[in-house]
Amino acid sequence: MAAMSMVQALNNAMDLALEKSPRTLIMGEDVGFFGGVFRCTEGLQQKYGAHRVIDTPIAEGGIVGVAIGMGVNGLRPIVEIQFADYFYPAMDQIVSELARLRYRSGGEFWAPLTIRMPCGGGIYGGQTHSQSPEALFAHVCGLKTVIPSTPYDAKGLLLASIDDDNPLIFLEPKRIYNGVFDGDRDKAATGWDQHPAGEVPENYYTLPIGKANIVRQGNDTTLITYGTMVHVAAAAVEKAGLDVEIIDIRTIVPLDIDTLTGSVQKTGRCVILHEATRTSGFGAEISAQIQEQCFWHLQAPIERVTGWDTPYPHLFEWDYFPGQSRVIQALQRVLEAG
């Protein structure tokens, strides 16, 4: 075991993946010589060569289109999109091609890509460096979408993603790349070495895709979340002193709905927390499924705590960001209802 930040854990996972198979390669903007703008691929080109950790032109649609062709020809590309906000030029290649190759060809062709992209805000990135686009991917059948919340999960889930024969979107909450951020902007992020999930085995391991993680056991309310918000949720529950069950879904699609409904049937109350905008955010889907399957157990309306339906603002970042106080208020409303 070693103390690792999320960046180090991701780097370690890709190192092991490149070591394991010569058919695996990394491509993206600035990923090679420089090691990536967030340093996730640092040292890998030096270790494996420029043919395996490839610096690409600034053309996300081209990067994904080319990687699909490589995948069809037996390679297993790990694609880095520098910010999730930049993936839109690749939308057609992801939606119409990558996600549907296997289906449309009757199972003859597929491309096992893992597309990594840092997401989320809280870094003063403004509206083009802060987005959380998971709901857009969730709506595309044929994709799996994963979002880890700790270094331990990041490594195990990334290795599982690279191994998966389905195309995968791997969202990395960049606010917690280098430390735990609990939503309190006045407090410095604490190092991952202070967090139990910052202890990461150095050997190869995978975590199952499609399996949620009950982060904190509780009886009075279920709080469903993912990514950076897992830590905001934990801090809010701690601060309010409530008996809340916190679940990190870890995989957007396929969703581990059974773990969620099991918890809500026990607690009878549910709050869903995410950073992305509200309308048609992934919380809407979770809420719909919980309502369908747990209606007769619910003692209060399901609440959503989310980013507002605006672009991610520069000036009002902390009014947009769904921080601890909004989480606590929602928990209290749900607990007091019914």
Q: How far is the CB of 55 from other proteins (least distance, A)?
A: 10
3-state secondary structure of 174: helix
The interface mask with other proteins, positions 68-87, x = CB under 8 A, is xxxxxxxx------------
- By beta-carbon proximity to other proteins, the closer residue of 92 and 319 is 92
- By beta-carbon proximity to other proteins, the closer residue of 62 and 311 is 62
- Active site residue ranges: 129
> Could you tell me whether strands 251-253 and 144-146 are parallel, antiparallel, or unpaired per DSSP bridges?
antiparallel
Q: 78 near 24, Cβ under 8 Å? A: yes
Q: How many residues bind other proteins (CB under 8 A)?
A: 43
The interface mask with other proteins, positions 208-237, x = CB under 8 A, is --x---------------------------
The interface mask with other proteins, positions 130-149, x = CB under 8 A, is -----------xx-x-----
Q: How far is the CB of 87 from other proteins (least distance, A)?
A: 14
Tell me which residue of 214, 213, 223 sits closest to 333, measured CA to CA.
Answer: 223
Name the token pair of 100: 């549907």
Q: How many residues does the chain have?
A: 338
**With binding defined as CB under 8 A, does residue 313 bind other proteins?**
no
- By beta-carbon proximity to other proteins, the closer residue of 12 and 213 is 213
**With binding defined as CB under 8 A, does residue 165 bind other proteins?**
yes
- By beta-carbon proximity to other proteins, the closer residue of 209 and 335 is 209
Q: Taking the CA atoms of 68, 71, 73 and 76 in sequence, report the sign of the dihedral they define.
A: positive
DSSP 189: P
**With binding defined as CB under 8 A, does residue 89 bind other proteins?**
yes
**With binding defined as CB under 8 A, does residue 188 bind other proteins?**
no
Q: How far is the CB of 273 from other proteins (least distance, A)?
A: 22
Beta bridge partner(s), residue 221: 244
- By beta-carbon proximity to other proteins, the closer residue of 162 and 255 is 255
> Could you tell me whether strands 168-173 and 144-146 are parallel, antiparallel, or unpaired per DSSP bridges?
parallel
Name the token pair of 333: 């409303």
- By beta-carbon proximity to other proteins, the closer residue of 52 and 326 is 52
Stretch that binds other proteins, among 31-39, 171-179, 252-260, 267-275 (CB under 8 A): 252-260
- Rounded distance between C-alpha atoms, residue 275 and residue 308, angstroms: 9
Ordered alpha helix ranges (H), the chain:
6-20, 44-48, 60-72, 91-92, 101-104, 134-138, 151-163, 229-240, 257-267, 282-294, 317-320, 324-336
Cβ burial of 67 (10 Å; 0-12, 13-18, 19+) is buried
**Which listed residue (34, 109, 124, 316) binds other proteins by CB under 8 A?**
109
Binding site for other proteins (CB under 8 A): 25, 51, 56-57, 59, 61-62, 65-75, 89, 92-93, 96-97, 101-110, 141-142, 144, 165-166, 210, 254-255, 257-258
